[in-house]
A and B are shown apart, each in its own frame.
Chain A
Amino acid sequence: MTDQTPVNRPASPLAADQVNSWRALPDASGHFGQFGGRYVAETLMPLILDLEKEYRKAQDDPAFWSEFDSLMKDFVGRPSPLYYAPRMTEHWREKAPAGKGPKIYFKREELNHTGAHKINNCIGQILLAMRMGKTKIIAETGAGQHGVATATVAARFGLPCTIFMGATDVERQKPNVFRMKLLGAEVVPVTSGAMTLKDAMNDALRHWVANVHDTFYIIGTAAGPHPYPELVRDFQSIIGKETREQMLEKEGRLPDRLVAAVGGGSNAIGLFHPFLDDPDVKMTGIEAGGHGVDTDKHAASLTGGKPGILHGNKTYLLQNEDGQITEAHSISAGLDYPGLGPEHSWLHESGRVDYVPITDGEALEAFQLCCALEGIIPALESAHALAALPQLTAGMDEEQLLVVNVSGRGDKDIFTVAEALDVEL
C-alpha cells in the first residue's frame, strides 16, 4: 500500500488513518493496486467520469444519505437481523475437536425486500441516476435477482427499465422473468455467446453505449469500470456496518471471522469492508467450485484464473492463454460468472482475505442442512458460504464468533435443488 490519494467518502471512525488502511482504495484513478480501473470504450468514458463526479458530490451530501437510509429502513426493511444460529452452532461443535466450534451468527440479508442484498445497491444507484437527470434504467441479470431488485426500484421511482438476461437464463428462471414483467420491466433475452450472465452484461454495455445521453446502467455487483466497484461496495457496506453494531450489542466485541460467498462479490465486500482495518477479524470469501476446480466446470476465478481485462475492469478472470474468456459453471446462477470484483482480487493478492472454493455438491448439502437445522431456506449462493463451516469451525474455539452472510433466500432455487436431488415436483 503506497502512494494513495485519500478518497472522499462519508466519514467513518477509521478514515483518519488512511495511510495504513485497507479501506483507502481505490486510488484517484480507480485502481485497487493493479486491479480495477476504467477499461471502457471511449464513448462511455465521459459518462463514467460524470458518474464519478456526481458520486463524489452525493458522498458529501447529507440529504442523499438521509434519503438512502430512509428507503433502507421503510422500503427495504433494514436493519436485517444478526441472528444467533443455535442448532447450526451445536451441529458443528459436536463434529469439532473438544473445545472447538465457534458461535455461528447469520446476517440475514435474505429478509430484505426482494429477498437478497441486491436491493441495497439498487436503491443507491437509482438515487444517483435521478441526481444525474437520467430517465431510463438498464441492468443485466443472471438468475434474475438483480433484475428483480432493479425492476423494483425502477417501479418505486417510476422510471422505465430494461433488463438484459441471457436467453438460457430466461428459460431457467421463468418465475423471476415474470416478476420483472409484473414490476413493469422489459426483459430482453440475450442470444449471444453462451446466453448467460456474461453475455447479458455485454449486451447491456452495447445498449448503454448507444443510449448514454439518457440511460443509467445499474450494475449488479461490485465490478465494472470505476467508480462502480467503489459505489456498489459503499452501498452494500451497510451490511458490515450493521453487523458491527449488532455484534457489539450482542456480544460486546467484534466477530472473529466473517464468511460470504463471492460471485461478483458485492455481498462479501459489503460485509467485509467495514472490518478490513480490524486486524483480529479474519475473513473468508467462498468461490463457486462447480464440479471441482480441477475440472473445466467451475466459477472460481481466483483459484483457477489469472488477471485480465473484461467488462471495464482488471481483475482475476477465467481465461485461456490467449486471453479468451472461458465459460464459468456453478449450480448457483448468481455465482456463474468468469470474473469477480477488482477489490477482491486485490484483497486476495495482498492476503487480507482468504478465498476458498466450494463445490456444487457441498453447497447442496449445506443448503439442506440449513433448512433442516435453522428453518431457513438459503439461496444457493449463500449455501456456498454455509458449506465452508465444517472447515472453518473445526479450528475455532467455542467462545469465538463467526458470521455467515445469508445473502439471499432460496425460494428461487427450489427447482434447481429439486432437479439436482432427482426430485420431481
Chain B
Amino acid sequence: MTTRFDNAFAKGPALVTFITGGDGDTAANLDALVAGGADVIELGMPFTDPMADGDAIQQANIRALGKGTRTKDIFDLATGFRQRHPDVPLVLMGYANTMIARGANWFAAECAKAGVDGVICVDIPPEEDAELGPALRGAGISLIRLATPTTDASRLPAVLEGSSGFLYYVSVAGITGTQTAAQTSIEDAVARLKAASDIPVAVGFGVRTPEQASAIAKVADGVVVGSAFVDLVKEHGDKAAGPLRELTQALAEAVHSAR
C-alpha cells in the first residue's frame, strides 16, 4: 500500500515543517504551511517539560499550555487538518508522558481516527519501544525514530528496527533551534544512514534558512525546519499565517530545486 509518506518523498527532497499545537491560530498556521509548499507537517504536542527543546519551542509549549491547550485539542486540530488536506502527511511530535497518559492503545487509536500518519516521541528510544511502538504499529501509525551524531553503527539497526515513514536525523548533539551542524558532517551522516536504511532520511535541528535547506536537500530526502517557524508564531501571534507562508515558500523552493 502506498502511504502519504511514500508520495511526499517520491517527488524528490521534501520540506518537513514543525509548529507547536495550540500556539497561535494553529489551524490557520497549518494551512499556511501547506499553501507555502510544505510536504510533511509535524504538529508538536505541548508538554510541561520539553527536555530536548531549546528556548523557542519551550516558550511555544508554555504559550500553548497557558492558553489551556489539551490533548483533545491536538486531536481536533489533526482531525480538521486531515479533512482539509487529505493527502499531506501529518506527524505528531512530543514527549512520552502525554502519549501514554491514557494508555498507548488509546493514543494510537485516536491517532488513527484523526488521520495522523506518524508519531515522533523524543524520549522513547528503541530500548523502551514496548511502551508505545507496538500500539502505534498495530494501529497502522508510523513510529518515526531519531538518529543522532552519537548513534553509532552498532546502534543503528536497533533504531531502524520497527521504524517507518522516515528516519529523522538530528544533525547536532543538542537541543532544538540552537547550534547548526557543519555541512560536511551532515553529508557523511546521511550517506551512512541511507546505506543502512530503506526509508527516507530527513535532517533537522538548527536549520533556519533556504541556503541551509538547499545544501542539505542535495544529499538528504528531507529537510526539517521547526524553531524558525515557531519564532514567527511568537512574533506575530494570531496573525502568523502570512509570514509562515512566505518562509515556507522560500524554503520549499530551495528544497525542491536543490537537485
Contact = CB atoms under 8 A, between A and B. Distances in A.
Contact of B151 (A37, A42, A311): A42
A395 interface: no
B71 A322 contact: yes
9 contacts: A39-B131, A41-B148, A42-B145, A43-B170, A43-B174, A46-B150, A46-B151, A205-B51, A321-B101
Contacts of A309: 95-97, 100, 123, 131
B186 to A, nearest CB: 15
A87 B107 CA distance: 57
A316 to B, nearest CB: 12
Given A308-B100, A308-B101, A41 B155 contact: no
Most chain A C-beta atoms within 10 Å of own C-beta, residue among B71, B127, B174: B127
Contact of B173 (A202, A209, A311, A324): A209
Given A40-B125, A43-B149, A47-B150, A209 B175 contact: yes
B150 A202 contact: no
Contact of A43 (B71, B100, B148, B179): B148
Nearest to B125: A45
A310 B97 contact: yes
Contacts of B148: 41-43
A232 B104 CA distance: 30
Interface string A205-231: 110011111000000000000000000
Contacts of A198: 49
Contacts of B124: 39
A193 B49 CA distance: 8
Nearest to A226: B127
Interface in B27-56: 47-54
Nearest to A29: B127
B252 interface: no
A10 interface: no
B212 interface: no
A323 B99 contact: yes
Task: Give the interface size class of chain B.
Answer: 35 or more
A70 interface: no
A312 B127 CA distance: 12
Contacts of A78: none
A46 B152 contact: yes
B51 A41 contact: yes
Given A45-B155, A321-B102, A39 B49 contact: no
A-B residue pairs, 9 tightest by C-beta: A323-B101, A210-B174, A323-B97, A323-B98, A309-B96, A43-B148, A325-B48, A322-B71, A42-B146
Contacts of A206: 51-54, 175
Interface in A303-347: 308-312, 314, 317, 319, 321-325
A38 B52 contact: no
Contacts of A323: 47, 71, 97-101
A310 B101 CA distance: 12
A39 B101 contact: no
A314 B104 CA distance: 14
B99 A41 contact: no
A40 B97 contact: no
Contact of A324 (B48, B122, B147, B151): B48
B109 interface: no
A202 to B, nearest CB: 5
A210 B179 contact: yes
A285 to B, nearest CB: 23
Contacts of B65: 324
Interface in B152-169: 152, 155, 159
A209 B96 contact: no
Contact of B49 (A42, A46, A202, A321): A202
Contacts of B49: 193, 198-199, 202, 310-311, 325
A273 to B, nearest CB: 24
A38 B126 CA distance: 10
Given A321-B101, A322-B71, 9 more contacts: A38-B125, A41-B146, A43-B149, A43-B170, A45-B125, A206-B51, A206-B52, A309-B97, A325-B48
A135 interface: no
Contacts of B151: 42, 45-46
A192 interface: yes
Interface string A41-76: 111111100000000000000000000000000000
B188 interface: no
B173 A212 contact: yes
A209 B52 contact: yes
A45 B150 contact: yes
